[in-house]
């Protein structure tokens, strides 16, 4: 009887969030015991800003993966947008105009991604891998392998702008995250993404324009990558082809840790992704604090990607079993 | 004037004629069941009315006006909705979101008005007198409740014609009861319900009228007074045997090849026992959902038995995997040729020898291609696979009948002692069908034990020595085929639980 | 009739690819003249060919299985680093090579296990191992070169027979052997079945898990061999070796006729695909002067190859529907 009650409770609480929250707590506790600098404001600043671009892009990636696709092209879009924005700005263009144009270009790339995917009937993985590679080459050619700096003084102020001691990127993330949290539950277009990912045929039969839904997620993901590109220029006061290297992997890993299913569409949440990003950021920070080489980052990210998928599929199976048992 | 009428509907898939001049009229406020054997054309007819297929010729009239229905959306415009056999519920979305998928009440910015959504959902459920919390995820409901959600989703679109395709196959008795109460309520409100089911008891209990289809033709409609199960069965199967079957085998020494004792699995079949003998074709009759394919999977090691024991050649046998089963001399010809049987993009030769790759190898596991070709050529000749020079042709370029022969050849090369054939002549033309029948008999005469699963009664009667009758996961009887009639088999399938000895 | 037609379509791709390659050669020789057919440029074209051949060959197996292996570039770097580190520590050359190749087999088996046993989508699983291995390489080397390798090692790939460099000979031989064996050895043949229809393969008694493992193991091993050839040629190991080689390999295999949905692949086609990719890269560089484009070209070629493949399949099914 008691175990039945337990199972009922477990069903109500999202097991995945619970596991993640406990892990985060353990990490924070462990680190604060180990290092007195961990819980300082300065370290918090480092922790947050190291993964803020990934956090922004993970929001869009979550929707792409829920729709049943993937977007590897963000690793090309981020530096590309940063570069064209920097080029336009250094050639004297009005800053807001340059931003708008850069973001529109980024969205255009997302649009092209989706067109290639749907018109040529290609796997999203193949399309976005290709566009990513093409953009990376373009980035090299545009910059000649050098860093674009010497931004106007008025621009540098943007990077300094820190209301309440929180960086601009962080503010933007907070706003975006709140919007995504709310939209993903309440906005018709966002909700359609879940239906399309869950069962595209059934969604079509309910009269949904599935193509518009796919276009929406790829353009959205590209837009956020573009935004991250522009924000990167404010952080580093420069633009380089080397921005965003391996970022797609970190973003996908954050989404996977957050419990969004990589094997079947329609399952996932923005809240989970936010927790996943936080977890990844803390782990990375812990590594840096422990004085370990940053080279470990790749190892840890890849390892966590695989472990996260194995775990979340495992949790899903347990839940399915429980649901079936309680129904019996 | 009828609410819905179909006139002279014809439909073919390729060379396969599925519906011939079918005309039926349906009235408002009735529950009208459609029955027929598998392949009689029920589902196709419903899909034409629902806009999933379009007919080759014929008319659909709603309220006496001819209408054009080319998509499910067109069908909804004319007030026609289908509840499909497979549920299209999104499990992690709420009940309300599922009911109003893509029709959520929103403001002009596309934000959902939750209060209105829940109110509307509650109102829809109230209409049919069911209480379901619209805020819970649909996946947390039982299958029966999910089905009701699906029905409400259809009804909420102002449907006056509700088509239900095998709605009770996944439901418990209690849930079925609930569903029937609901259907009767809808009927009282003037909705036309078209009901498809294999369960004749349900049909006679529920329907106001029953229309029978057989071989794609309309046979007749019975009203309540004339609705007796034997009569329906008679209409479903009463056909002239227009096909020649091979002579039955001689009774041999009854050497037992396989025995299953009290086998149960996956909730799909329960406590099934039977024996198979060398030199015999044992027919297994059962309609879709009777648990026959799941049973075959368990014997073949593609699934596990939950309970029960199997014996092969008198020794205890555990079905661990298809690899093991093939080693032990069992073959399984699957019912789904395209998805589970053949490698469509590979050659006839490759398809044929797949089961004997190991035997074709030398110690260094080099394949003997010559031997593979020779073996395949042998079967191309014996089974008269056309064209004769198809050794290297891709299987997808062959006709359905020839594909089925390749599938059979694939199992014959492995020379099994027990061959399970699942719907061996599905979607196959008459010539190939007869050819396959004679081949099966010949194999039995050579000493093979054959278990032939089929939902085609003439085939079962024409070919089997014994008939195992399955219905809803239970073995309803094993009949000796001595002048067995279709009625006898059907009656056995539908007989009450208490009658089973 | 049908058989003949099939032969023509299979050879059709080989013939088309050969023709395209010849046309590019002639056109470039006319346009750029000496600049193009100079020994140094031809060597430049073929410098990476032996590695690409091996990787593309392994990739063809994986594609036949219906999978994909993004980790080959990282496996190459990893094995290279391991072997050169061991050699630097003074280990005997054969033993170091043996350990390197064994580790590539283990890595391939891990990929295969993640895909076949745990049902992780192939590109996600190999994306994960790709990142892990690349990271380990940097950790092991701290980003430095590992040089000063024994001559016994460097002469493996640097030597030549009858004027043809050893490394080309080695990879061509391996490729040819695998190509010939691919339809003759049971384990290889089974891959076509698994990629063609995994469900039917399972029900026909094909060991699906084992076969999948084998495919990824071969892909890993090919990367391992390529690593040894590369480090031996260059006389050093480095964590950045083989970056985005996987794209080139996928593109070459798909151009050569491997179907991304599995069940089909041609090794001769893949070999021609590798040459074509190398050539197009060279042409691009000749006109533009910037090697920065090389990665992007792989991307463009991959897109084109995949698109052409899909269009081919579509038109095929359409012409069949008409029948």
pLDDT tens-digit map of B172-208: 777 788 888 888 888 888 899 999 887 777 888 889 9
- Sorted by where each begins, the domain ranges of chain B are 4-237, 255-329+416-501, 338-415
Give me B100's structure tokens: 């109003």
Query: So what's the pLDDT on residue C184?
Result: 84
Inter-chain contacts counted by CB atoms under 8 A, chains A and C = 124
End-to-end C-alpha distance for chain C, whole angstroms: 15
| Continuous segment of H or E residues that includes residue B195 | strand B192-196
C277 vs B495 pLDDT, higher one: C277
CA distances from B179 to B196, B449, C89 (A): 14, 43, 77
Dist CA C288 CA A207 (whole Å)? 50
Dist CA B38 CA B236 (whole Å)? 10
Q: Give which of C185, C191, C184 is closest to C206, Cα–Cα.
A: C191
CA distances from C77 to A284, A294, B262, C83 (A): 24, 18, 58, 10
Cβ atoms of residues C114 and C120 within 8 Å: yes
Is B101 in the A-facing interface, judged by CB distances under 8 Å?
A: yes
Q: Quick check: bond before A75 cis, omega within 30?
A: no
- Give the mean model confidence (pLDDT) for residues C177-188: 86
pLDDT at C317 exceeding the cut of 60: no
State which of A48-52, A91-95, B236-240, B352-356 shows the largest mean pLDDT. B352-356
pLDDT interval class at A77 (50, 70, 90): very high
pLDDT interval class at C73 (50, 70, 90): very high
Is C138 in the B-facing interface, judged by CB distances under 8 Å?
A: no
pTM: 0.83
Is A266 in the B-facing interface, judged by CB distances under 8 Å?
A: yes
| Continuous segment of H or E residues that includes residue B222 | strand B217-223
Cβ atoms of residues B57 and B8 within 8 Å: yes
* Cβ-Cβ contacts under 8 Å for B33 (sequence gap 6 or more): B194, B195, B196, B197, B203, B206, B207, B209, B210, B211
pLDDT interval class at B82 (50, 70, 90): confident
Dist CA C169 CA C189 (whole Å)? 26
- Give the mean model confidence (pLDDT) for residues A232-256: 88
% of chain C beyond a pLDDT of 90:
38
pLDDT at B30 exceeding the cut of 60: yes
pLDDT interval class at A205 (50, 70, 90): confident
| Averaged pLDDT score across all residues of chain B | 85
Is C322 in the B-facing interface, judged by CB distances under 8 Å?
A: no
User: Is B4-237 a CATH 3.40.50.300 domain?
Assistant: yes
CATH topology identical between B4-237 and B255-329+416-501 = yes
Dist CA C132 CA A300 (whole Å)? 7
- Has residue A102 been placed in a domain? yes
| Averaged pLDDT score across all residues of chain A | 85
Flag if C292 and A140 touch (Cβ within 8 Å).
yes
The pLDDT tens digits for A93-142 are 888 899 999 999 999 999 999 999 888 778 888 899 899 989 988 898 88
Q: How many CA atoms lie within 13 A of A5 on its CB side?
A: 2
By C-alpha distance, the chain B residue nearest A208 is: B102
Angle CA C277–C283–C289, to nearest 5: 125
CA distances from B397 to B386, B403, C3 (A): 11, 9, 11
CA distances from C132 to A304, C77, C218 (A): 9, 12, 20
Phi, psi of B462 (to 5 degrees): -70, -30
Give me A46's structure tokens: 């480092």
Q: Which candidate in B338, B354, B408 is best for mutational testing of the C interface (most C CBs within 10 A)?
A: B354
Query: So what's the pLDDT on residue B147?
Result: 83
C110 SS3 class: helix
Q: Give which of B478, B467, B440, B451 is closest to B249, Cα–Cα.
A: B440
Query: So what's the pLDDT on residue A290?
Result: 77
Q: Which candidate in B300, B323, B349 is best for mutational testing of the C interface (most C CBs within 10 A)?
A: B323
How many C-beta atoms lie closer than 10 Å to residue A274's C-beta?
A: 20
Q: Which parts of B207-263 fold into alpha helices (H)?
A: 229-237
Q: Give which of B473, B469, B476, B468 is closest to B500, Cα–Cα.
A: B476
Query: Subunits with at least 3 CB pairs below 8 A relative to chain A?
Result: B, C
Q: Which candidate in B72, B92, B102 is best for mutational testing of the A interface (most A CBs within 10 A)?
A: B102
Chain B positions touching A199 (Cβ under 8 A) are 88, 90
Dist CA A239 CA B53 (whole Å)? 56
- Give the mean model confidence (pLDDT) for residues A254-266: 86
Dist CA B246 CA B437 (whole Å)? 7
Q: State the smallest CA–CA distance between residue B134 and chain A in angstroms.
A: 15
The strand ranges marked E within chain C are 160-161, 164-165
pLDDT interval class at C182 (50, 70, 90): confident
By C-alpha distance, the chain C residue nearest B364 is: C185
pLDDT at B496 exceeding the cut of 70: no
Cβ atoms of residues B44 and B54 within 8 Å: no
Flag if B93 and A194 touch (Cβ within 8 Å).
yes
C2 SS3 class: helix
Q: State the smallest CA–CA distance between residue A310 and chain C in angstroms.
A: 7
C242 SS3 class: coil
Is B344 in the C-facing interface, judged by CB distances under 8 Å?
A: yes
Is B13 in the C-facing interface, judged by CB distances under 8 Å?
A: no
- Find the range with the poorest average confidence among B211-215, B336-340, B373-377, C7-11: C7-11
Chain B positions touching C6 (Cβ under 8 A) are 392-394
pLDDT interval class at B77 (50, 70, 90): confident
C152 vs A111 pLDDT, higher one: A111
Q: Give which of C111, C135, C125, C138 is closest to A305, Cα–Cα.
A: C125
Q: Which of residues 145-204 of A touch C (CB under 8 A)?
A: 145
Cβ atoms of residues A137 and C294 within 8 Å: yes
Dist CA A147 CA A149 (whole Å)? 6
b (16+ CB within 10 A) / e for B281-306: bbbbbbbebbbbbbbbbbbbbbbebe
Helices C186-196 and C208-234 sit at what angle, rounded to 10 degrees?
110
Could you tell me the CATH number of the domain that includes residue A54? 1.10.3470
The pLDDT tens digits for C9-19 are 456 778 888 88
Phi, psi of A222 (to 5 degrees): -65, -40
B302, B367, B410 ranked by CB distance to C189: nearest: B367
Query: So what's the pLDDT on residue B243?
Result: 57
Query: So what's the pLDDT on residue B239?
Result: 53
- Number of helices followed by number of strands (H, E) in chain C: 15, 2
DSSP symbols for A159-202? HH--GGG--HHHHHHHHHHHHHHHHHHHBHHHHHHHHHHH-HHH
- Has residue A222 been placed in a domain? yes
Dist CA C110 CA C220 (whole Å)? 10
Q: Which residue has tokens 């629902």?
A: B50
Domain membership of residue A263 as a residue range: 49-314
Beta bridge partners of B422: B453
Q: Is the ipTM of this complex over 0.85?
A: no
- Has residue A60 been placed in a domain? yes
Cβ atoms of residues B386 and B416 within 8 Å: no
Give me A179's structure tokens: 């919007």
Q: State the smallest CA–CA distance between residue A296 and chain C in angstroms.
A: 6
B255-329+416-501, what's its fold? Rossmann fold (3.40.50)
The pLDDT tens digits for C223-236 are 999 999 999 999 89
Flag if C143 and A127 touch (Cβ within 8 Å).
no
| DSSP code of residue B138 | G
| DSSP code of residue B396 | G
Cβ atoms of residues B219 and B226 within 8 Å: no
Domain count, chain A: 1
pLDDT at A291 exceeding the cut of 80: no
C254 SS3 class: helix
- Number of helices followed by number of strands (H, E) in chain B: 16, 20
Q: State the smallest CA–CA distance between residue C159 and chain A in angstroms.
A: 34
pLDDT interval class at C185 (50, 70, 90): confident
Cβ atoms of residues B59 and B22 within 8 Å: no
The pLDDT tens digits for A220-234 are 999 999 999 999 998
pLDDT interval class at C322 (50, 70, 90): very low
pLDDT at A313 exceeding the cut of 70: yes
**CA A228 to chain CA centroid, nearest Å:** 10
- Number of helices followed by number of strands (H, E) in chain A: 15, 0
% of chain A beyond a pLDDT of 70:
93
Give me C18's structure tokens: 């050969």
Is B88 in the A-facing interface, judged by CB distances under 8 Å?
A: yes
- Give the mean model confidence (pLDDT) for residues B401-417: 90
**CA A103 to chain CA centroid, nearest Å:** 17
* Cβ-Cβ contacts under 8 Å for A184 (sequence gap 6 or more): A63, A190, A191, A269, A270
- Give the mean model confidence (pLDDT) for residues B251-270: 83
Query: So what's the pLDDT on residue B252?
Result: 63
Dist CA B40 CA B44 (whole Å)? 9
* Cβ-Cβ contacts under 8 Å for C272 (sequence gap 6 or more): C14, C17, C18, C21, C255, C256
Is B366 in the A-facing interface, judged by CB distances under 8 Å?
A: no
- Give the mean model confidence (pLDDT) for residues C275-299: 80
- Give the mean model confidence (pLDDT) for residues B314-333: 90
Query: So what's the pLDDT on residue C320?
Result: 46
The pLDDT tens digits for B116-126 are 999 999 988 88
Query: So what's the pLDDT on residue C55?
Result: 95
Dist CA A281 CA A278 (whole Å)? 5
Beta bridge partners of B285: B454, B469
Q: Give which of B67, B296, B294, C133 is closest to A299, Cα–Cα.
A: C133
pLDDT interval class at A324 (50, 70, 90): low
The pLDDT tens digits for A181-201 are 999 888 888 989 999 988 888
Cβ atoms of residues A80 and A139 within 8 Å: yes
- Give the mean model confidence (pLDDT) for residues C62-75: 94
The pLDDT tens digits for B283-314 are 998 876 678 888 999 999 988 888 899 999 88
Chain A positions touching C293 (Cβ under 8 A) are 137, 140-141
């Amino acid at each position: 009887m008691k175990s039945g009650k337990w199972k009922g409770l477990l069903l109500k609480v999202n097991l995945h969030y619970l596991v993640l929250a406990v892990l985060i707590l353990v990490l924070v506790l462990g680190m604060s015991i180990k290092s007195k600098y961990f819980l300082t404001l300065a370290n918090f600043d480092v922790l947050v800003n190291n993964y803020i671009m990934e956090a922004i892009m993970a929001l869009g990636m979550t929707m792409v993966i829920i729709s049943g696709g993937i977007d590897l092209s963000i690793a090309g879009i981020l530096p590309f947008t940063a570069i064209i924005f920097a080029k336009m700005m250094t050639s004297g263009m009005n800053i807001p105009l340059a931003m708008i144009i850069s973001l529109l270009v980024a969205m255009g790339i997302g649009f092209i991604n989706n067109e290639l995917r749907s018109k040529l009937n290609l796997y999203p993985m193949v399309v976005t891998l290709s566009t990513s590679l093409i953009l990376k080459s373009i980035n090299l050619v545009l910059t000649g392998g050098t860093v674009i700096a010497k931004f106007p003084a008025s621009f540098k102020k943007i990077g300094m702008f820190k209301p309440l001691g929180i960086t601009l990127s962080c503010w933007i993330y907070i706003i975006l995250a709140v919007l995504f949290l709310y939209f993903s539950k309440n906005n018709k277009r966002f909700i359609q993404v879940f239906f399309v990912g869950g069962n595209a045929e059934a969604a079509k039969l309910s009269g949904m324009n599935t193509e518009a839904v796919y276009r929406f997620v790829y353009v959205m993901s590209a837009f956020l990558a573009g935004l991250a590109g522009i924000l990167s220029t404010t952080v580093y006061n420069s633009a380089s082809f080397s921005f965003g290297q391996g970022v797609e992997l970190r973003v996908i890993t954050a989404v996977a840790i957050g419990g969004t299913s990589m094997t079947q569409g329609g399952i996932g949440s923005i809240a989970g992704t936010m927790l996943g990003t936080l977890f990844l950021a803390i782990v990375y920070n812990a590594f840096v604090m422990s004085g370990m080489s940053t080279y470990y980052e790749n190892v840890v990210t890849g390892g966590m990607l695989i472990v996260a998928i194995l775990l979340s599929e495992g949790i899903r199976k347990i839940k399915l079993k429980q649901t079936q048992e309680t129904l019996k | 004037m009828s609410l819905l009428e179909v006139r002279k509907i014809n439909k073919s898939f390729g060379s396969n004629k599925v519906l011939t001049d079918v005309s039926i009229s349906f009235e408002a406020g009735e529950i009208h069941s459609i029955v027929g054997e598998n392949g009689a054309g029920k589902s196709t007819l419903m899909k034409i009315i629902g806009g999933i297929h379009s007919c080759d010729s014929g008319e659909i009239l709603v309220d006496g006006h001819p209408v054009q229905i080319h998509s499910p959306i067109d069908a909804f415009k004319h007030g026609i909705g289908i509840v499909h056999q497979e549920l299209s519920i999104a499990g992690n979305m709420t009940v309300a979101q599922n009911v109003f998928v893509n029709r959520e009440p929103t403001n002009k910015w596309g934000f959902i008005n939750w209060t209105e959504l829940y109110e509307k959902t509650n109102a829809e459920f109230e209409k049919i007198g069911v209480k379901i919390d619209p805020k819970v995820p649909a996946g947390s409901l039982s299958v029966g409740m999910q089905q009701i959600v699906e029905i409400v989703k259809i009804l909420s679109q102002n449907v006056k014609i509700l088509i239900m395709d095998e709605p009770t196959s996944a439901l418990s008795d209690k849930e079925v009861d609930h569903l029937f109460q609901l259907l009767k309520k809808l009927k009282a409100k003037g909705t036309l319900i078209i009901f498809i089911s294999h369960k004749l008891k349900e049909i006679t209990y529920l329907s106001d009228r029953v229309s029978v289809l057989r071989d794609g033709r309309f046979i007749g409609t019975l009203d309540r007074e004339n609705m007796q199960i034997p009569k329906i069965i008679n209409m479903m199967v009463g056909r002239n045997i227009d096909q020649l079957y091979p002579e039955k085998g001689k009774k041999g020494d009854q050497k037992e090849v396989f025995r299953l004792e009290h086998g149960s699995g996956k909730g799909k079949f329960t406590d099934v026992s039977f024996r198979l003998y060398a030199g015999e074709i044992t027919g297994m009759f059962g309609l879709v959902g009777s648990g026959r394919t799941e049973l075959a999977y368990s014997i073949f090691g593609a699934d596990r038995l939950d309970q029960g024991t199997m014996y092969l050649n008198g020794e205890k046998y555990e079905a661990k995997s298809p690899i093991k089963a093939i080693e032990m001399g069992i073959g399984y010809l699957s019912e789904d040729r395209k998805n589970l049987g053949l490698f469509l993009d590979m050659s006839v030769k490759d398809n044929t020898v797949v089961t004997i790759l190991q035997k074709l190898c030398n110690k260094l596991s080099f394949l003997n291609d010559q031997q593979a070709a020779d073996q395949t050529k042998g079967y191309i000749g014996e089974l008269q696979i056309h064209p004769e020079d198809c050794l290297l042709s891709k299987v997808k370029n062959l006709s359905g009948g020839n594909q089925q022969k390749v599938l059979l050849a694939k199992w014959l090369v492995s020379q099994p002692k027990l061959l399970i054939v699942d719907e061996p002549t599905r979607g196959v033309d008459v010539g190939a069908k007869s050819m396959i029948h004679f081949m099966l008999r010949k194999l039995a005469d050579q000493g093979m034990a054959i278990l032939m699963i089929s939902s085609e009664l003439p085939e079962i009667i024409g070919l089997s020595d014994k008939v195992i009758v399955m219905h809803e996961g239970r073995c309803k009887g094993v009949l000796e085929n001595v002048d067995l009639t279709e009625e006898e088999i059907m009656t056995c399938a539908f007989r009450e639980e208490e009658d089973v000895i | 009739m049908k058989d003949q037609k099939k032969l023509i379509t299979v050879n059709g791709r080989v013939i088309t690819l050969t023709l395209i390659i010849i046309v590019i050669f002639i056109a470039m020789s006319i346009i750029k003249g000496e600049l193009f057919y100079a020994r140094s440029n031809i060597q430049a074209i073929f410098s990476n060919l032996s590695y690409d051949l091996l990787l593309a060959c392994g990739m063809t197996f994986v594609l036949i299985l219906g999978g994909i292996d993004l980790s080959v570039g990282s496996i190459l770097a990893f094995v290279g680093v391991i072997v050169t580190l061991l050699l630097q520590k003074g280990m005997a050359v054969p033993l170091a090579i043996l350990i390197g190749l064994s580790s590539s087999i283990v890595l391939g088996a891990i990929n295969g296990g993640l895909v076949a046993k745990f049902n992780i989508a192939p590109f996600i699983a190999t994306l994960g191992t790709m990142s892990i291995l690349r990271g380990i390489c940097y950790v092991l080397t701290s980003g430095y070169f590992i040089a000063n390798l024994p001559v016994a090692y460097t002469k493996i790939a640097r030597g030549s027979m009858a004027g043809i460099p050893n490394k080309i000979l080695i990879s061509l031989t391996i490729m040819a052997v695998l190509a010939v064996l691919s339809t003759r050895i049971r384990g290889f043949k089974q891959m076509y079945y698994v990629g063609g229809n995994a469900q039917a393969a399972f029900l026909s008694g094909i060991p699906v898990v084992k076969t999948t493992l084998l495919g990824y193991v071969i892909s890993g091993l090919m990367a391992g061999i390529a690593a040894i050839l590369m480090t031996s040629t260059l006389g050093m190991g480095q964590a950045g070796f083989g970056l985005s080689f996987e794209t080139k390999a996928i593109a070459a295999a798909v151009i050569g006729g491997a179907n991304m949905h599995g069940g089909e692949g041609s090794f001769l086609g893949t070999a021609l695909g590798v040459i074509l990719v190398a050539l197009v890269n060279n042409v691009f560089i000749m006109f533009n002067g910037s090697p920065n484009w090389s990665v992007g070209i792989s991307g463009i070629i991959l897109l084109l190859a995949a698109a052409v493949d899909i269009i081919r399949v579509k038109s095929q099914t359409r012409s069949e529907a008409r029948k």
